[in-house]
Structure 1
Amino acid sequence: MSRELARRIAFTIGALLLFRFGTQIPVAGLNLSSYSPVLDFISRLSLFALGLIPYLTAAIFIRLLSVVWRGLNSLERSGERGRRKIARATLGITLALAAFQAYGIASTLTTIPGLVRNPDGWFVATATASMVGGVFVLVWLSEQITRYGIGNGLAVILSAGFLVTIPRDVAGIVGLVQSGEISGHLVLGHAVFWIVIVAVIVLVEGARRNIHVEFGARRVGTRQLPARGAVLPIKLNSAGFLIPATVAPWIFFLPLAFAGLILGADHPLVAAAYQHLQTGQPVQVILVSLAVFVLAFIYTAYVVDPEHTAKSLAQHDGAIAGVAQGGATADYLDRVVSLTTVVGAVYLTALQLIPGVFELYGIGLPYSMVVNGGAALVVVCTALDIKAQVRDVSLTNPGGVRR
């Protein structure tokens, strides 16, 4: 192991320990002594209670907006200055979303008898500020992991949040099997199912649709580059793993939260909507499936822009065999990406449906609901990304030259 790789791994481990430490610090002003034995309030009401969801939602909102607003798209592709402007806008939206969520949580806490020592406006203000600050600490920490550690910081922190629940869930399931409350065959079936799911994720995430491209001979400075062939890889799942799996539920719950704030959480329409959007309800299964499917297409259209790719190929004198440059290339790429995305969108939708289907047919296990297809996708893709980065660092000299 090289010194650089060891340093990066140590930094990542230290950052994750800091993350876990923050999840154990409860919001100030809570009286958890009478509640913690029953519910896991420590992790739910900690400084990092909101996690990275507000930042991810803001980032995804900006990404989706850039799909329909060409000015924003051009700004993002304009260079470092444009990316800094978008980063500031993302943080601004993050602040608004985090403040809204934190205020709602803090206000709700004051209505639970005995949970808050002094349920007044000061508690709401300090709790809101604490949880909002926790979001920005996590954003900063994820950036440090990306820069100085191993893997994508956002994905690493999300994966850590998913993985820490597994030992507790396994222990709970073992206890239920020993007491005879659930069948050992059902547990074995779930274990085999998740092994198969992980294998499918690894297979699909590595799948590519390779398009052969020919580049003509051209001169760069004093050098004459000969004609050469290359491959333009199109991922089966170009939408990635964060946007569709993470944001789909928020498309419905965020407007519902606003409605609850305006109409009141006990309003019949709001209560009925919350009931129908519970995991396993037919309405929830249908709506979330449609959201994931549509988000996969929208984000793929942004990541793999056929017009931009066709223009870039033409600028470098590249052409797809049998396809004219310009508009014909863009149309060809659009057809290939669309057909490929259908498979990827179905794959993402199926993963997102797993907990709902388990609940609908009564074959689920009482493990945490964060253990689902989306979580498995995040963890597996993060592991694959870390593996690739470890290999690259191991094969690279300190000066950046490959061994």
Structure 2
Amino acid sequence: MTIELARRIAITIGALLVFRLGTQIPIPGVDVFDVSPTLDLVSRLSIFALGLIPYLTAAILIRLLSVVWRRLNSLERSGERGRRKIARATLGLTLGLTAFQAYGFASALTSIPGLVRNPGGWFVMTASASLVGGVFVLVWLSEQITRHGIGNGLALILSAGFLVAIPQNIAGIMDAFRQGMISGSLVLGHAVFWVAAVVVIVLVEGARRNIQVRFAARNVGSRQLPGRDATLSIKLNSAGFLLPATVAPWIFFLPLAFAGFVLGSDHPLVAAAYQHLQLGQPLHMILVSIAVFALAFIYTAYVVDPEYTAKSLAQRDGIIPGVAPGEETAAHLDRVVSLTTVVGAVYLTALQLIPEVFELYGIGLPYSMVVNGGAAVVVVCTALDIKTQVRDVSLTNPGGVRR
């Protein structure tokens, strides 16, 4: 182990320890230990109770806006200065979303008897400030891990939150098994299923569609760079999981919320729609599947823009053998990306439906709504990213020179 790798690992472990410590610090003014001093409840009422959800929501909204707003899209591709502007906009939106969510969360706590020592305006203000500060501390910790540690900070903190819940979930499953509430075959079936699911996730997330590219010789100043062959690698799942899975429910729940505001939540049509759109209901599964599948295509087209890629290749004197540069290259890339995305979209849709299928057929376990396909993807991708970075740091000498 190199000194650089040891330093990065130490920074990562330290940041994660701070994260776990923060999950055990209650919101000021809350008597959580007098109500039910369980670790799960303490973490739900800690200064980190909101987690990274407001920041992730802001980042997703900015990313969606860049898909439909060409100016923002060009700003993101303009280099480091453009990315800094987008980062500031994301933090500003995070502040607004966090303040709104923190105020609602703190106000709701005052309605729980015996939980808040002095419910009132002062508690709501201090609790809201603590929750807002907690979110930005988590954002800062994630940035420190990404810059100076190992792995992606956001994904690592999310993974830590999922992983620490596993022992409690296992204990709950074992307790339900001892009481005869679930069968041993069901527990074994879930264990086999998740082992197979992790194997599939590893294979799909590592899968690439490679396109051969040939760059012609060119002059750079007084030097002549020889021609070379390269590979344009396209991920089978270029859309990731968080954006399609997060945005998909918005497509029908936001119009439904608006209808409830206009017609009233007790209107028969609104009440019937809410009933049929509950988790595990066939209509909810159909709509979510369509939305995730479509969003996978939309976001992949943004991440892997065939026209932008074809233009970049032409500027660097690069061609795909057997394909004319320009429009034909863009059309060829579009066909390849579309065919690849079909597989990735089916994969994402299947992961999204895992907890709903368990719920629909009544074969779920106590963890099903927490540890799902999305959590498995985040954890597995985080582990793969850490493996790659550890290998790269281990093979790099001081000064950034590869061994």
Same fold (TM over 0.5): yes
1:331-379: CA deviation from partner (whole Å, max 9, x where unpaired): 1111111111111011011001100110110000011622000000000
2-structure distance, mates of 1:111, 1:241: 36
With over 3 angstroms needed to count, the CA separation of the structure-2 counterparts of 1:367 and 1:129, relative to structure 1, is same
2-structure distance, mates of 1:259, 1:28: 37
* 1:37 positional shift: 5.4
With over 3 angstroms needed to count, the CA separation of the structure-2 counterparts of 1:2 and 1:38, relative to structure 1, is closer
* 1:36 positional shift: 1.9
With over 3 angstroms needed to count, the CA separation of the structure-2 counterparts of 1:106 and 1:258, relative to structure 1, is farther
Decide which moves more: 264-273 or 373-382.
264-273
Is residue 201–residue 377 contact of structure 1 (8 Å, CA) maintained in 2? yes
1:327 aligns with 2:319: no
Map of 1:3 onto structure 2 = 3
SS at match of 2:26: coil
Alignment of 1:25-64 (within 5 A): 25-33=25-33, 35-36=35-36, 40-64=40-64
* 1:121 positional shift: 1.8
2-structure distance, mates of 1:225, 1:389: 30
Decide which moves more: 277-286 or 3-12.
277-286
1-structure distance, mates of 2:38, 2:4: 45
1:151-182: CA deviation from partner (whole Å, max 9, x where unpaired): 01011011111110001111111122122221
Task: Tell me the amino acid that sits aligned with residue 336 of structure 1.
Answer: V
SS at match of 2:32: coil
Map of 1:98 onto structure 2 = 98
Is residue 50–residue 135 contact of structure 2 (8 Å, CA) maintained in 1? yes
SS at match of 1:292: helix
Task: Tell me the amino acid that sits aligned with residue 69 of structure 2.
Answer: W
SS at match of 1:4: helix
Is residue 26–residue 45 contact of structure 2 (8 Å, CA) maintained in 1? yes
Is residue 169–residue 368 contact of structure 1 (8 Å, CA) maintained in 2? no
Is residue 165–residue 368 contact of structure 1 (8 Å, CA) maintained in 2? no
Is residue 35–residue 41 contact of structure 1 (8 Å, CA) maintained in 2? no
Decide which moves more: 320-329 or 356-365.
320-329
Decide which moves more: 346-355 or 115-124.
115-124
With over 3 angstroms needed to count, the CA separation of the structure-2 counterparts of 1:276 and 1:12, relative to structure 1, is farther
Is residue 355–residue 368 contact of structure 2 (8 Å, CA) maintained in 1? no
Decide which moves more: 144-153 or 91-100.
91-100
Map of 1:389 onto structure 2 = 389
* 1:20 positional shift: 0.8
Map of 1:200 onto structure 2 = 200
1:183 aligns with 2:183: yes
Is residue 358–residue 368 contact of structure 2 (8 Å, CA) maintained in 1? no
With over 3 angstroms needed to count, the CA separation of the structure-2 counterparts of 1:275 and 1:29, relative to structure 1, is farther
Is residue 241–residue 381 contact of structure 1 (8 Å, CA) maintained in 2? no
* 1:267 positional shift: 8.0
SS at match of 1:40: helix
Provide the identity percentage: 81
Map of 1:155 onto structure 2 = 155
Task: Tell me the amino acid that sits aligned with residue 290 of structure 1.
Answer: I
2-structure distance, mates of 1:371, 1:261: 33
1-structure distance, mates of 2:391, 2:256: 45
2-structure distance, mates of 1:239, 1:29: 42
For structure 1, list consecutive stretches of 5 or more residues without a partner in the other structure: none
1:21 aligns with 2:21: yes
SS at match of 1:212: strand
With over 3 angstroms needed to count, the CA separation of the structure-2 counterparts of 1:373 and 1:279, relative to structure 1, is same
Is residue 145–residue 152 contact of structure 1 (8 Å, CA) maintained in 2? yes
2-structure distance, mates of 1:44, 1:19: 13
Map of 1:112 onto structure 2 = 112
SS at match of 2:397: coil
With over 3 angstroms needed to count, the CA separation of the structure-2 counterparts of 1:136 and 1:276, relative to structure 1, is farther
With over 3 angstroms needed to count, the CA separation of the structure-2 counterparts of 1:201 and 1:50, relative to structure 1, is same
* 1:115 positional shift: 2.2
Is residue 107–residue 124 contact of structure 1 (8 Å, CA) maintained in 2? yes
TM-score, normalised to structure 1's length? Answer: 0.93
With over 3 angstroms needed to count, the CA separation of the structure-2 counterparts of 1:250 and 1:39, relative to structure 1, is farther
SS at match of 1:210: strand
Task: Tell me the amino acid that sits aligned with residue 21 of structure 1.
Answer: L
Is residue 256–residue 270 contact of structure 2 (8 Å, CA) maintained in 1? yes
2-structure distance, mates of 1:90, 1:273: 33
Task: Tell me the amino acid that sits aligned with residue 122 of structure 1.
Answer: W
Is residue 32–residue 45 contact of structure 2 (8 Å, CA) maintained in 1? no
With over 3 angstroms needed to count, the CA separation of the structure-2 counterparts of 1:51 and 1:263, relative to structure 1, is farther
Decide which moves more: 80-89 or 32-41.
32-41
Map of 1:279 onto structure 2 = 279
Is residue 67–residue 301 contact of structure 1 (8 Å, CA) maintained in 2? no
Map of 1:211 onto structure 2 = 211
Alignment of 1:69-88 (within 5 A): 69-88=69-88
Decide which moves more: 321-330 or 159-168.
321-330
SS at match of 2:214: strand
1-structure distance, mates of 2:290, 2:306: 24
Is residue 292–residue 345 contact of structure 2 (8 Å, CA) maintained in 1? yes
With over 3 angstroms needed to count, the CA separation of the structure-2 counterparts of 1:7 and 1:261, relative to structure 1, is farther
With over 3 angstroms needed to count, the CA separation of the structure-2 counterparts of 1:130 and 1:251, relative to structure 1, is farther
1-structure distance, mates of 2:66, 2:219: 35
Map of 2:359 onto structure 1 = 359
SS at match of 1:50: coil
With over 3 angstroms needed to count, the CA separation of the structure-2 counterparts of 1:269 and 1:105, relative to structure 1, is farther
SS at match of 1:49: coil
* 1:231 positional shift: 1.2
* 1:29 positional shift: 1.7
2-structure distance, mates of 1:153, 1:47: 19
2-structure distance, mates of 1:283, 1:363: 19
For structure 2, list consecutive stretches of 5 or more residues without a partner in the other structure: none
Decide which moves more: 238-247 or 297-306.
238-247
